[in-house]
Chains A and B, each alone.
Chain A
């Protein structure tokens, strides 16, 4: 069964530090990978997506993809208390006739002032 695994945390980092969130996926056919942020009681908000091996940067966020190791990560630089949330990793077989996102359970991040 297709799975996306994340460490549930909580992951605690001091304000200003780099937060590193990790995700592994089971299906080698997965093509696209997404990071969502979800504040307590709210819906998921898309932060970044990545399709190609390597790094993709957007502001304080960097997504890293290693398809050989089936590993995706999200780095948050200069972490702020407002970054405290649950981060959801999702993959998709996009391009292979599949249209669903498969989510991990999420990692709870706490940024300590």
Chain B
């Protein structure tokens, strides 16, 4: 049973550029959440996708956008990169339950460095 997969593993970008990160959820899961984890901090919720729509969004600017495809995989796009966007980006998949949140399982993450 394949777990959550993410690509790429590492990425180096220049300030002002745009980046796309990808995630495939665990088999049987239909919901994808994205988190940003800065060094020494806990993960911070960016947004969650369910049924190809953004269901909830955290306190992140519009430079962060996403998409979910019919096969439940997802992309995170970040425009106009800032140095402060350097972090580990985590994708978490879960199975949606009525009105709530099932257990979330994280992928290996994408380490983004902005220079």
Q: State the A residues within 8 Å of B (CB).
A: 4, 31-32, 34, 36, 42-46, 49, 88, 90, 92, 94-106
Contacts and interface: CB of A to CB of B under 8 A. Distances in A.
Contact of B45 (A32, A46, A102, A106): A102
B56 A98 contact: yes
Given A43-B90, A99-B56, A100-B48, A34 B103 contact: yes
Q: How large is the interface on B (under 10, 10 to 19, 20 to 34, 35 or more residues)?
A: 20 to 34
- By secondary structure, the B interface counts as strand
A36 B45 CA distance: 15
- By secondary structure, the A interface counts as loop
A96 B103 CA distance: 16
Contact of A32 (B42, B88, B90, B101): B101
Max chain B C-beta neighbours (<10 A), residue from A42, A101, A103? A101
A32 B109 CA distance: 24
A49 B42 contact: no
Contacts of B40: 105
B53 to A, nearest CB: 12
22 contacts: A31-B100, A34-B103, A36-B106, A43-B90, A43-B108, A43-B109, A44-B43, A44-B90, A44-B106, A46-B105, A92-B100, A92-B101, A94-B100, A99-B50, A99-B56, A99-B100, A100-B101, A101-B33, A101-B35, A101-B104, A103-B43, A104-B42
